[in-house]
Amino acid sequence: MPYSDARVGLLTQHGKERVLAPLFADPLGARLEVVGGFDTDTLGTFTRDVPRAGSQFDAARRKAQLAIELGGVPVGLGSEGAFGAGPFGFGGWAVELVVLVDRARGIEVGGVAQGPCVHVHGVVASHDELRALAARAKFPEHGLVVRLAEDGPIVRKGVRALDELQAAFEEARARADDGGVFVENDLRAHLHPTRMALIELAGRDLVTRLSTPCPSCGAPGFGIADAVPGLPCAQCGMPTDHALADEWACVRCDAREQRPRPGPGTADPRWCQWCNP
Ligand SMILES: [Zn+2]
Ligand SMILES: [Zn+2]
């Protein structure tokens, strides 16, 4: 294994080592070390008070680079989440990315996972409305933020207890001009078990890639980079937009390889633009 006994720094204030450290210990045999002394919220927050610069990958890579510099370790790990509306506009959706930067080998490897993610937000004017929103937000397992308005000042964040939530609501209601109080899920990983589970899956994807050497240069991190469309229609045999194969790529050299995708060898005719337009 390429990272057996390696020191890997992780920049986090939000307890991500809880799910990532076991993955790096087994199967990689690496030692994950939490790098502190840096406020990751200065790189961007989910409460929108500090906007994130650059792409999600840039943000995760920046944290990995800081882990190397601040932790004095050869390899760094950073993680970043992104949130949006779910498919068909229902519910929330999260994409979690974990990026490893290995300066000695000159590589960057990313692991990704995505799925439904509770991300409830809204204005509440009464304790009944507050309780209803809290239930939809899967409180108290998931933490909440109470603020005066959607982009207004934060009254309290990281709320995990009902009496604390009610006190924050009362305080915000007294301060808000119109009596409306904005409440939303606290998306920080240690307060959001759904996110934490996705971060673990992204870490698993990363560890699988790191365990797969490039067939050409031997660098760790050989993995799926693209889908190749063209799965034949089960009825007429013409190519569809569904994936026929995956394109695997190296993170260091130009090696690329198409590998058949496991699963059914044909596509449902309802996706066929030839026989079922
Ligand atoms: Zn067809
Ligand atoms: Zn290679």
pLDDT in tens, 143-176: 999 999 888 899 999 999 999 999 999 999 999 8
Residues near ligand 1 ion, CB 5 Å cutoff: 233, 235-236, 269, 272, 274-275
Q: How far, rounded to the nearest angstrom, does the alpha carbon of residue 153 sit from its chain's CA centroid?
A: 26
| Model pLDDT for residues 65-93, shown as the tens digit of each residue | 999 999 999 999 999 999 887 666 667 89
Residues of the chain with CATH 3.30.1490.20: 121-185
Gap between the Cα atoms of 272 and 260, Å rounded: 20
Residues of the chain with CATH 3.40.50.10150: 7-118+191-211
Gap between the Cα atoms of 38 and 72, Å rounded: 14
Choosing among 3.40.50.10150, 3.10.20.30, 3.30.70.270, 3.40.50.1100, the CATH entry for 7-118+191-211 is 3.40.50.10150
| Model pLDDT for residues 105-150, shown as the tens digit of each residue | 999 999 999 999 999 999 999 999 999 999 999 999 999 999 998 8
Q: Which ligand is nearest to the CA of 231?
A: 1
| Model pLDDT for residues 39-68, shown as the tens digit of each residue | 877 877 777 777 777 899 999 999 999 999
Q: Which ligand is nearest to the CA of 255?
A: 2
Gap between the Cα atoms of 219 and 214, Å rounded: 5
Q: How far is the CA of 267 from the centre of ligand 1 (A)?
A: 8
Gap between the Cα atoms of 33 and 108, Å rounded: 18
Inter-CA distances, 148 with 124, 136, 155, 195, 226, Å: 11, 20, 7, 25, 44
Query: What is the homologous superfamily of the domain 121-185 according to CATH?
Result: ATP-grasp fold, A domain (3.30.1490.20)
User: What's the per-residue H, E or C state across 102-155?
Assistant: ECCCCEEEEEEEEEECCCCEEEECCHHHHHHHHHHCCCCCCCEEEECCCCCCEE
Q: How far is the CA of 88 from the centre of ligand 1 (A)?
A: 25
| Model pLDDT for residues 174-222, shown as the tens digit of each residue | 998 776 899 999 999 999 999 999 999 999 999 999 999 999 999 999 9
Q: How far is the CA of 215 from the centre of ligand 2 (A)?
A: 7
- Report the range of poorest mean pLDDT among 27-41, 47-61, 260-274: 47-61
Q: How far is the CA of 260 from the centre of ligand 1 (A)?
A: 20
